[in-house]
Amino acid sequence: MKRVLMVLMAIILVLPVAACTQPAAASELKSDKERIASPDISEEEQVLLTEGSIAFAFALYQALKNEEGNLFYSPYSLSLALAMTYAGARGETEQEMADTLSFLLSQERLHENFNALDIELGTRGQGAVGKDGEAFRLNIVNAIWGQRDYTFLPAFLDVLAENYGAGLRILDFMEDAEKSRNIINDWVSQQTEGRIEDLIPEGAINTLTRLVLTNAIYFNAAWQYPFNEDLTADGLFYRLDGSHVSVPMMKQSGSFAYTEAEGYQAVELPYDGGELSMVILLPDSGNFAVFEKLLQAQFVADVFDSLHSAQVVLSMPKFEFESEFQLKDALEAMGMLTAFSDEADFSGMTGKKDLAIAEVLHKAFVSVDEAGTEAAAASAVIMTLTSMPADQAVVTIDHPFVFLIRDIETGTVLFIGRVLNPTA
């Protein structure tokens, strides 16, 4: 199955302030610090970083699972964008963010370890192929956009420059908020090869905006074992209510990492190069709601550990859909309260307690077919001033399922999706 995957994500931090300050230019101002090319981190720290990232990924899934329909989002991109925000958090705001986002390392160690993980992921796919026949891509980029003449602490800018490669680009939100919004949206579109357009909606940036932090991930990879288009045929996919839809079902047989236990099956589909994969979790028919409750970090880690080589007869649908979220309520329910309130303390950004998060927005797109997977995601954080049997395993994915895209060596979960209706 050779399949490709393009996944991207942009996370944006808009920091409006309830006071007038002076405007900004359109150039890029960098900290005098260069990005740290060889972070001094330990294996134990990287384990803690990954454990925390996975814990957040599935805690967020639990918070989102009651949304209607299909889901798709990038927990890794959200973690990165919110980690850049966290660099400026202090006091109770800092502690609540750490607890909610499962940041298990100190401020000093967290950012350097994210940098190390980013560098490690940047080595993936050497010599591998992308969906479009060109080179494999897993690109992760960051940028921050600040109001002209508005002062940000050098120490805050240095952390983002040294660990996230994020230079400060100057805009004038006060004089032309709409132009500033379009500039950032154009950057996001460029970084995602046009898959995410108009990430920031009209009105989200205004004269009170002081800072926007952006993160984008783009992933394009072929399946290690391609699906044969000639084997694709229409089949039935059964929805949660018992009704069904007709959908093109892709088919192939081969050796894959596989496991099964009471209530579910799991199969891992590697991408070209064998360094990243999609793991599909298929609950037994009629068992989806019970299975979703099990989706916590330890459960998923146990699934990963139990995967082993098996002969699999696989059928799965082609699908394409979009997801869109406003995450303020979910993050507050998870315990991140102060960051959204008048009591927020992001004084590590400016030296003053003048910024609070107004909303966290997220948009994502995924398309899966014989050729591969194309996916895109974008997020905005808007801030204001105030044991395997010997025979073949048959995996017929004809009812709702969950899928993950992960880095195999580190275990980092880059994307999570849920398919309730592949034709939606």
pLDDT digits (tens, 9 = 90+) for 247-293: 999 999 999 999 999 999 999 999 999 999 999 999 999 999 999 99
- Which residue in 337, 342, 345 sits closest to 87, CA to CA? 345
pLDDT band at 22 (very low <50, low <70, confident <90, very high): very low
> What are the beta bridge partners of residue 254?
312
Query: Tokens at residue 91, please?
Result: 């006091």
Taking Cα atoms as reference points, which of 419, 409, 394, 57 lies closest to residue 258? 394
326 token code pair: 């406003």
More confident position, 21 or 330: 330
Averaged pLDDT score across all residues of the chain: 87
Q: Where are the domains of the chain?
A: 5-222+321-384, 229-318+389-419
Homologous superfamily in CATH for domain 229-318+389-419:
Alpha-1-antitrypsin, domain 1 (2.30.39.10)
How confident is the model over 8-26, as a mean pLDDT?
A: 42
Question: Do the strands 356-368 and 319-326 form a parallel or antiparallel pair, or are they unpaired?
Answer: antiparallel
CATH of 5-222+321-384, one of 3.90.1150.10, 3.40.50.720, 3.30.70.380, 3.30.497.10: 3.30.497.10
Burial label, 233 (beta-carbon count in 10 A; 0-12, 13-18, 19+): exposed
pLDDT tens string 187-218: 888 888 888 888 888 988 888 888 888 888 88
Strand 401-407 and strand 319-326: the pairing is: unpaired
The region of weakest confidence among 80-84, 113-117, 383-387 is 383-387
Q: What pTM value is reported for the model?
A: 0.88
Bridge partner list, 16: 209
Name residue 375's beta-bridge partners. Answer: 366
CA-angle at 376, arms to 373 and 380, nearest 5°: 160
- The sign of the torsion formed by the CA atoms of 103, 106, 111, 116 equals negative
pLDDT tens, residue by residue, 360-382: 877 777 777 776 777 777 676 66
178 half-sphere exposure, CB direction, 13 A CA radius? 1
